[in-house]
Amino acid sequence: MGLKIGIVGAGGFSNGFAQLFKTHPLVEKVAIAELIPERRAEYAKRHGITEEYESLDEMLKSDADCVAIFTQRHLHGPMVIKALKAGKHVYSAVPVATEVEEIHEIVELVNRTRLIYMVGETCYYWPCAMFCREMYKSGRMGDFVYGEAQYYHDMKRFYLPFQRSGGENWKMVAGLPPMHYPTHSTGMILSALEDAYAVKVSCMGYRDNHSDGIFGEGKNYWDNPYSNETAIMKLSNGGICRINEYRRIGWERPSSYISGMYGTRGGYENSSMQHIWQEDPEGGKPVLTDVSDRLNTVEYVRDSKREGFSMEKNALNYKAYHSTFSAIQNFSRLPQNDTYLKLSTGHSGSHPFLVDDFVKAVAWYKLPPNNIWDAARYNIPGLIAHKSAMKDGALMEVPDFGGIPGGWTMLEPDKTETV
Ligand SMILES: NC(=O)c1ccc[n+]([C@@H]2O[C@H](COP(=O)([O-])OP(=O)(O)OC[C@H]3O[C@@H](n4cnc5c(N)ncnc54)[C@H](O)[C@@H]3O)[C@@H](O)[C@H]2O)c1
């Protein structure tokens, strides 16, 4: 018997996931819950889904094994808590939640129920993050010294996603503090470092003065005046991170990326389509390697070698060069059916890997990457960073709810067999 997955939210993002869940060999059935009837019906028709629910609450009464939550950013925490209490395994789009207390409750619930929770952090499978993870874990980076990562997404490209479900009050949600959505940036650095987590943070905010009236006191649910926030974090391993979460910036691609990550033996730097690794071991000779062909998409690498190809004219093309697989990604571990592999659309080809992790984790009862202990450590530093920004950069302690407790068998995605 395969799994039954209930998708919650038929908005823009979840459209990229219905077919991945449906065509995964360990899944038997997919259902949809959506508040807006026409959106629900259209989604069900488009994806050939026959079981529909009017809301998360209705779906939680069903026999679904798992729910996959794709609702608006600020709603996840309470929904995840409800779903775990109803006995469902949970996949949640980022962020985890917007309150530290909610994240704490989710950690406690997973500890008690031993249900699987996984946050769908797309950047975990972004080539720059995979590369830094590989270099750190192999020891070639040495001890971690410093990393800088960012997620840049200018608000003018965000109007539509917020308007889609926000109605007249869409700006109240669009003004979410940028550091309430820090997981793309923090996740890329912390997932490379395994057990390290943020212990202290200081953050500065850029007070927004754009005429669209999204950021400012009284203009959003959080009274948030900042469209851009920069945090400096001290990690438990002694290293330092600089994290930028910017929503008003004249920059398009890459959107989330590690610009530099350095250890005592080696370092990685990225500038647009160029990825450089340098190694400088003690007693050895420094070596520079251009690793761009492993990290850029297979399509970009192929096209960029053609005569007359112009980086300036092409590098910003999202569909062609930022949404499909790169050589560093081990797609041989994914279900080898054509439909599944062709669905590698969006966010550097990460979606099929995330769905595969979650489904295998539940079916084989193993703890996936981006489990609640990882996810809490990606998310909480951002929530505290925003509090620091509101106090003009005051240095603050970051609460930590611990690493993965004993008794779990880990899913090691790249070592597990395909199905
Ligand atoms: N790279 C990434 O990881 C990435 C990219 C894009 C979006 N996202 C995340 O995906 C999520 C969804 O974004 P979106 O742009 O698709 O939003 P959206 O507003 O288009 O869709 C959300 C849908 O959830 C529905 N919904 C809300 N409450 C519900 C309930 N109780 N029961 C059933 N349905 C409910 C809404 O009616 C809406 O249709 C967000 O959390 C966002 O952060 C992540």
The CA 121 to ligand 1 mean position distance, Å, reads 14
The pLDDT score that the predictor gives to residue 299 is: 93
The CA 162 to ligand 1 mean position distance, Å, reads 9
340 vs 394, more confident? 394
The CA 375 to ligand 1 mean position distance, Å, reads 18
pLDDT higher than 80, residue 389:
yes
Residue identifier of the C-alpha nearest atom 19 of ligand 1: 165
* Residue 409 tokens, joined: 């068998």
Question: Would you tell me which CATH number, out of the four given (3.90.79.10, 3.30.360.10, 3.40.50.970, 3.30.1340.10), belongs to the domain 123-323+370-397?
Answer: 3.30.360.10
262 Cβ contact partners less than 8 Å away, ≥ 6 residues apart:
141, 145, 146, 147, 268
Exposed (0-12), middle (13-18) or buried (19+): which is 67, by Cβ within 10 Å? buried
Instruction: Categorize the per-residue pLDDT at 140 as very low, low, confident or very high, splitting at 50, 70 and 90.
Output: very high
Instruction: Categorize the per-residue pLDDT at 340 as very low, low, confident or very high, splitting at 50, 70 and 90.
Output: confident
Pocket test for ligand 1, best of 54, 72, 79 (most atoms within 8 A of CB): 72
The pLDDT score that the predictor gives to residue 266 is: 97
Residue identifier of the C-alpha nearest atom 25 of ligand 1: 9
The pLDDT score that the predictor gives to residue 413 is: 87
Q: Tell me: cis bond preceding 335? Omega within 30 of 0 counts.
A: no
Q: Average of pLDDT values for 238-250?
A: 98
Q: What sign does the dihedral 159-164-165-169 (CA atoms) show?
A: positive
Residue identifier of the C-alpha nearest atom 32 of ligand 1: 55
Q: Average of pLDDT values for 260-282?
A: 96
Q: In which residue are the tokens 């081990």 written?
A: 330
**Interstrand relation of 66-69 and 89-92 (parallel, antiparallel or unpaired):** parallel
Per-residue CA distances from 129 to 108, 158, 348 (Å): 28, 24, 11
Rounded distance, CA 341 to CA 105, Å? Answer: 36
Tell which atom from ligand 1 comes closest to the C-alpha of 181.
Answer: 43
Residue identifier of the C-alpha nearest atom 27 of ligand 1: 71
Residue identifier of the C-alpha nearest atom 5 of ligand 1: 13
Tell which atom from ligand 1 comes closest to the C-alpha of 76.
Answer: 41
Q: Average of pLDDT values for 69-95?
A: 98
Is residue 348 within 8 A of residue 126, CB to CB? The reply is yes
pLDDT higher than 70, residue 268:
yes
Tell which atom from ligand 1 comes closest to the C-alpha of 56.
Answer: 32
Tell which atom from ligand 1 comes closest to the C-alpha of 33.
Answer: 33
Per-residue CA distances from 109 to 3, 105, 314, 334, 382 (Å): 22, 6, 47, 30, 22
Residue identifier of the C-alpha nearest atom 36 of ligand 1: 9
Q: Tell me: cis bond preceding 254? Omega within 30 of 0 counts.
A: yes
pLDDT higher than 80, residue 417:
no
Global pTM value: 0.97
* Residue 13 tokens, joined: 């993002």
How does pLDDT run across 97-118, given as a tens digit for each residue?
A: 999 999 999 999 999 999 999 9
* Residue 269 tokens, joined: 């730097």
CB-side exposure of 116: number of CA atoms within 13 Å?
Answer: 25
**Reduced 3-state DSSP string for 253-299:** CCCEEEEEEEECCEEEEEECCEEEEEECCCCCCCEEEECHHHHCEHH
Task: Locate all alpha helices (DSSP H) within 88-198, ordered by sequence.
Answer: 100-113, 127-137, 159-166, 170-174, 183-190
The CA 322 to ligand 1 mean position distance, Å, reads 22
Pocket of ligand 1 (CB under 6 A): 8-14, 33-36, 39, 55-56, 70-73, 75, 93-94, 122, 161, 164-165, 347
Q: Average of pLDDT values for 393-398?
A: 98
pLDDT higher than 90, residue 199:
yes
Residue identifier of the C-alpha nearest atom 11 of ligand 1: 70
Q: Average of pLDDT values for 319-329?
A: 88
The CA 312 to ligand 1 mean position distance, Å, reads 33
Is residue 16 within 8 A of residue 9, CB to CB? The reply is no
Pocket test for ligand 1, best of 13, 152, 153 (most atoms within 8 A of CB): 13
Instruction: Categorize the per-residue pLDDT at 344 as very low, low, confident or very high, splitting at 50, 70 and 90.
Output: low
* One-letter amino acid of 60: L
The CA 405 to ligand 1 mean position distance, Å, reads 31
The CA 91 to ligand 1 mean position distance, Å, reads 13
Is residue 324 within 8 A of residue 297, CB to CB? The reply is yes
The pLDDT score that the predictor gives to residue 331 is: 87
Is residue 353 within 8 A of residue 329, CB to CB? The reply is yes
How does pLDDT run across 282-305, given as a tens digit for each residue?
A: 888 999 999 999 999 999 999 999
Query: Which H or E run includes 74?
Result: none
The CA 198 to ligand 1 mean position distance, Å, reads 28
* Residue 374 tokens, joined: 């990882």
- DSSP state letter for 405: P
User: Phi then psi for 346, rounded to 5 degrees?
Assistant: 95, 140
Rounded distance, CA 350 to CA 164, Å? Answer: 24
